[in-house]
């Protein structure tokens, strides 16, 4: 919708015309009545617009919850392809509902009824509608999404949209509460087991367990190992568990916390399914660090049925205090809310910092211009105008969308995509400004003291793997090469071929995990043609600098990886000790065959050593 801004209304135009021809004066009472009628009409329109936008949001969130309910059914029937399909579809729900909401406004209101001067009243009435709403913060973000399609960006401030939240969610919760509470009498295996049994019953799975008594025994034993003999129970000793199950890929997760003397210990219990369709509790992850691995930015979003999402975020924040709310909302599948909170965090940070935006360290990308703010742990990526001719802007955006919709298996960084983002021009380093002018002039505009970037991606900042490899020695270098190969194998398990496998396209997180973040050349593994390099026909072939064989557009020759990846002996030794099969075309072909047959490798978001079958092997035997 292209609503004109700052245009005079038809009323003022008519009045001006009347004055020019000396029309008879209108009695004051009649004028007052006309003004009052206009105000009532404007108020009526603003109320109806507010109701229309909220109805669009309510439809969106109803479908969001239905999606999570369907995920539980897919999990219980071992429909793994169905879960992946639901995860992909849900990401696209939001934008579709925004388009529908705008179409609804266009069909019920005339363009002149949606002038900018009415939008403040619309926002005011909208806030009133949220007084008893269960998802007010999400509804505000939906309002912003609709409003920014209607208004010019000069109106993107708090008078017209929710730059700041309008409704508090601090104590908002559902009835019954978002979490259940259990009270073990003491910290013992028997008491833990009794409480955990009720906990599992309350979850309400519709399929049988393989051996629930065995698994509850493992849970109780693991908890007693955490809370040793020196642990003293206090009067508030209790277990709290979120009512909704967290579904992703082939697992369901029970998320909870143990409270004792006001101390909070978080835990997560992965629930998996065996080949017979029976459930089993795979392990228990205790403590912030292990729970954070489930909510890492390189993993796919959870599907979970929540009536009050802010209550879930509040609960999760006590388990992972270092995790910003923007990332928690994102991992709950509410990525638009995550974007809203991230942008608020960025604005807040800019108000309290002074360092300039700089080009990111590392080798410059041929497709993306990457810059960062040193005091802020993220990078900003802009598509260059000067790039390979076969790399169209639409193609690159399609690659990033492919990854967004796909299972990232903990090895591909999530991105937030933004349009028309303003940056203070005086915070842009001259070198960055020169790079923007030289290689991406169509991607930004300058408006006074503001540089507006038309389209960019934002990711968590990592140390490029090529830089990190040079910084470390010995066992750490070996570990990084093992991590690098593991990252590739786990992407392969998710049917992703990274394309460009150079170290510069991978990053190292603060926990030392290797993650892929350059998506310009990603494609589905099943779209590739993995081949062995043909034997040379003649000595001239062998000495030639050019291939003596035909190469198709999707042909990949794995044995060539060693040439550009393993030139240094220490890197080659570490790689070949762990991942020699990655240089064999038959390995890749076998993985393609498995994926086409519907077989998906398990990729656990925790160490296999933590699984009960490995922790208590003697007790795991039937």
Catalytic residues: 414
Q: How far is Cα 420 from Cα 430, in angstroms, rounded to an integer?
A: 21
Q: How far is Cα 324 from Cα 413, in angstroms, rounded to an integer?
A: 16
Task: Kindly give the pairing relationship between strand 529-530 and strand 555-556.
Answer: parallel
Q: Tokens 């509790």, residue?
A: 281
What is the gyration radius of the CA atoms in the chain, in angstroms?
Answer: 29
Under DSSP, the state recorded for 547 is -
Phi and psi dihedrals of 365, rounded to 5?
-80, 150
Phi and psi dihedrals of 248, rounded to 5?
-160, 130
User: CA geometry: angle at 120 spanning 119 and 123, to 5°?
Assistant: 85
Token pair recorded at residue 308: 């009050």
Token pair recorded at residue 55: 């109805």
**Computed from CA positions of residues 521, 522, 527, 530, in that sequence, does the dihedral angle turn out positive or negative?**
positive
Q: How far is CA 570 from the centre of its chain?
A: 36
Beta bridge partners of 358: 372
Contact partners, residue 361, CB within 8 Å, separation at least 6: 464, 467
Residue 409: left (phi > 0), alpha (psi -120 to 50), or beta?
left
Greatest distance between any 2 Cα atoms in the chain: 105
Q: How far is Cα 303 from Cα 94, in angstroms, rounded to an integer?
A: 15
Q: What string of DSSP letters covers 24-51?
A: PPPPHHHHHHHHHHHHHHHHHHHHHHHH
Closest CA to 45 of 2, 4, 105, 97: 105
Under DSSP, the state recorded for 160 is T
Q: Give the count of alpha carbons within 13 A of 163, CB side only.
A: 11
Under DSSP, the state recorded for 319 is H
Residue 78: left (phi > 0), alpha (psi -120 to 50), or beta?
left
Q: Tokens 């960062």, residue?
A: 372
Residue 217: left (phi > 0), alpha (psi -120 to 50), or beta?
alpha
Token pair recorded at residue 44: 């009526």
Q: Which of helix, strand or coil describes residue 254?
A: strand
Cβ neighbour number for residue 344 with a 10 Å cutoff: 16
Task: Kindly give the pairing relationship between strand 416-424 and strand 450-460.
Answer: antiparallel
Q: How far is Cα 32 from Cα 205, in angstroms, rounded to an integer?
A: 66
């Amino acid at each position: 919708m292209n609503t004109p801004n700052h245009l005079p209304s038809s009323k003022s135009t008519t009045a001006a015309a009347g004055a020019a021809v000396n029309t008879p004066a209108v009695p004051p009472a009649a004028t007052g009545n006309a003004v009052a009628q206009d105000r009532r009409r404007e108020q009526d329109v603003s109320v109806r617009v507010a109701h229309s936008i909220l109805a669009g949001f309510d439809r969106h969130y109803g479908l969001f919850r239905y999606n999570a309910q369907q995920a539980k059914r897919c999990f219980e029937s071992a429909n793994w392809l169905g879960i992946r399909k639901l995860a992909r579809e849900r990401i696209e729900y939001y934008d579709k509902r925004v388009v529908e909401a705008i179409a609804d406004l266009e069909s019920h209101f005339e363009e002149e009824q949606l002038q900018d001067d009415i939008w403040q009243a619309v926002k005011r009435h909208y806030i009133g509608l949220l007084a008893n709403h269960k998802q007010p913060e999400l509804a505000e973000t939906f309002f912003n999404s609709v409003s920014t399609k209607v208004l010019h960006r000069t109106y993107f401030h708090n008078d017209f949209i929710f730059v700041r939240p309008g409704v508090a969610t601090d104590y908002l919760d559902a009835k019954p509460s978002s979490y259940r509470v259990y009270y073990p009498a003491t910290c013992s295996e028997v008491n833990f087991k009794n409480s955990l049994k009720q906990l599992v019953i309350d979850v309400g799975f519709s399929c049988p367990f393989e051996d629930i008594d065995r698994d509850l025994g493992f849970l109780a034993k693991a908890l007693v190992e955490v809370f040793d003999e020196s642990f003293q129970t206090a009067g508030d000793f209790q277990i709290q568990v979120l009512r909704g199950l967290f579904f992703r890929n082939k697992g369901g997760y029970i998320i909870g916390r143990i409270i004792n003397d006001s101390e909070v210990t978080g835990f997560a219990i992965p629930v998996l399914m065996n080949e017979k369709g029976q459930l089993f509790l795979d392990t228990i992850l205790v403590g912030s660090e292990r729970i954070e691995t489930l909510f890492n930015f390189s993993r796919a979003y959870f599907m979970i049925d929540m009536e009050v999402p802010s209550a879930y975020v509040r609960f999760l924040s006590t388990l992972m205090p270092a995790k910003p709310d923007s990332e928690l909302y994102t991992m709950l599948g509410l990525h638009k809310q995550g974007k809203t909170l991230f942008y608020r965090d960025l604005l807040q940070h800019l108000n309290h910092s002074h360092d300039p935006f700089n080009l990111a360290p590392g080798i410059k990308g041929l497709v993306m211009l990457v810059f960062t703010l040193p005091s802020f742990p993220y990078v900003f990526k802009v598509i260059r105008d000067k790039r390979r001719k076969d790399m169209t802007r639409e193609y690159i955006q399609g690659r990033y969308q492919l990854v967004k919709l796909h299972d990232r298996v903990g090895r591909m960084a999530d991105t937030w995509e933004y349009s028309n983002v303003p940056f203070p021009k005086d915070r842009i380093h001259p070198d960055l400004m020169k790079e923007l002018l030289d290689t991406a002039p169509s991607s930004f505009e300058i408006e006074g003291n503001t540089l507006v970037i038309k389209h960019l991606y934002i990711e968590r900042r990592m140390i490029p793997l090529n830089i990190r490899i040079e910084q470390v020695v010995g066992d750490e270098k070996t570990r990084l090469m093992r991590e690098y190969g593991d990252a590739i194998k786990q992407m392969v398990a998710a049917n992703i071929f990274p394309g460009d496998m150079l170290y510069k396209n991978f990053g190292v997180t603060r926990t030392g995990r290797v993650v892929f973040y350059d998506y310009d050349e990603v494609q589905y593994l099943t779209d590739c043609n993995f081949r062995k390099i043909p034997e040379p026909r003649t000595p001239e072939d062998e000495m030639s600098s050019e291939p003596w064989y035909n190469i198709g557009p999707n042909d990949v020759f794995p044995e060539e990886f060693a040439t550009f990846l393993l030139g240094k002996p220490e890197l080659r030794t570490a790689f070949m000790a762990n991942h020699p099969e990655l240089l064999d075309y038959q390995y890749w072909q076998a993985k393609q065959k498995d994926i086409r047959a519907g077989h998906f490798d398990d990729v656990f978001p925790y160490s296999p050593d933590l699984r009960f079958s490995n922790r208590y092997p003697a007790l795991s035997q039937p």
